[in-house]
Structure 1
Amino acid sequence: MSASDVKERAQRLLALHRPGDPVILPTVWDAWSARLAVDAGFAALTVGSHPLADSIGKPDNEGMSFDDNITRVAQITAAVDVPVSVDVESGYGETPVRLIEGLLSVGAVGLNIEDTVHAEGRRLRSPQEHAELVGRLRAAADAAGVHVVINARTDLFLRQDGDEADRVDRAIDRMKLAADAGADVLYPVGRHDPDTMRRLTSELPLPVNAIGLPDQDDPASFGPLGVGRVSFGPYFQAALAARGNEILSRWT
Structure 2
Amino acid sequence: MHRAILPHCLNGVGAPPVLPGPWDAISALVFEAAGFPALATPSAGIAASLGYEDGATPADEMFAAVARVVRSVDVPVSADVEDGYGLAPKELVERLLETGAVGCNLEDSRTGVLKDPREHADWLAEVRAVAGDALFVNARVDTFSCGDADPERAIERADLYVAAGAECVYPIGAPLDVLPQLRAGIEVPVNVYAWPDGPALEGLSELAAMRVTFGPRLQRWAAEELAGFARALRDA
C-alpha contact 1:112 1:150 (8 A) present in aligned 2: yes
- Once the two structures are superposed, the pairs formed by residues 81-160 of structure 1 within 5 Å of their partners are 81-118=74-111, 122-142=112-132, 146-160=133-147
* TM-score normalized by the length of structure 1: 0.87
The correspondence for 1:230, drawn from 212, 225, 228, is 212
Q: Secondary structure at the match of 1:34?
A: helix
C-alpha contact 2:155 2:182 (8 A) present in aligned 1: yes
- The answer to whether the aligner puts 1:18 opposite 2:6 as a matched pair is no
Task: State how far apart, in whole Å, the 2-side matches of 1:111 and 1:190 are.
Answer: 18
C-alpha contact 2:176 2:207 (8 A) present in aligned 1: no
Q: Structure 1 residues 24, 17: CA separation in 2 closer, same or farther (over 3 Å shift)? A: farther
Q: Secondary structure at the match of 2:68?
A: helix
Task: State how far apart, in whole Å, the 2-side matches of 1:77 and 1:171 are.
Answer: 31
C-alpha contact 1:24 1:230 (8 A) present in aligned 2: yes
Number of positions where the alignment pairs a residue of Structure 1 with one of Structure 2: 231
Letter in 2 for 1:135: A
Q: Secondary structure at the match of 1:222?
A: helix
**Structure 2 spans left out of the alignment, 5+ residues:** none
Question: Which residue pairs with 1:5 in the alignment?
Answer: none
Question: Which residue pairs with 2:48 in the alignment?
Answer: 54
Q: Structure 1 residues 40, 99: CA separation in 2 closer, same or farther (over 3 Å shift)? A: same
C-alpha contact 2:113 2:146 (8 A) present in aligned 1: no
Question: Which residue pairs with 2:21 in the alignment?
Answer: 27
Once the two structures are superposed, residues 212-248 of structure 1 have per-residue CA deviations (whole angstroms, 9 ceiling, x without a partner) of 1113331221111221110001111111112111111
Task: State how far apart, in whole Å, the 2-side matches of 1:221 and 1:248 are.
Answer: 35
C-alpha contact 1:17 1:23 (8 A) present in aligned 2: no
Q: Which has the higher helix share?
A: 1
Letter in 2 for 1:242: E
Task: State how far apart, in whole Å, the 2-side matches of 1:251 and 1:22 are.
Answer: 39
Question: Which residue pairs with 2:230 in the alignment?
Answer: 248
Task: State how far apart, in whole Å, the 2-side matches of 1:170 and 1:79 are.
Answer: 39
- Once the two structures are superposed, the pairs formed by residues 56-71 of structure 1 within 5 Å of their partners are 56-61=50-55, 63-71=56-64
The correspondence for 1:200, drawn from 172, 179, 182, is 182
Task: State how far apart, in whole Å, the 1-side matches of 2:9 and 2:50 are.
Answer: 34
Letter in 2 for 1:123: V
C-alpha contact 2:180 2:207 (8 A) present in aligned 1: yes
- Per the TM alignment, residue 64 of structure 1 is displaced from its structure 2 partner at its CA by 1.4
Task: State how far apart, in whole Å, the 1-side matches of 2:74 and 2:68 are.
Answer: 12
Once the two structures are superposed, residues 21-60 of structure 1 have per-residue CA deviations (whole angstroms, 9 ceiling, x without a partner) of 5210001111111011111110100010001011111121
Once the two structures are superposed, residues 47-87 of structure 1 have per-residue CA deviations (whole angstroms, 9 ceiling, x without a partner) of 100010111111211x1122111111111111111110011
Task: State how far apart, in whole Å, the 1-side matches of 2:134 and 2:155 are.
Answer: 24
* TM-score normalized by the length of structure 2: 0.93
**Structure 1 spans left out of the alignment, 5+ residues:** 1-7
Task: State how far apart, in whole Å, the 2-side matches of 1:191 and 1:125 are.
Answer: 18
Question: Which residue pairs with 1:4 in the alignment?
Answer: none
- Per the TM alignment, residue 117 of structure 1 is displaced from its structure 2 partner at its CA by 2.0
TM-align CA RMSD: 1.4
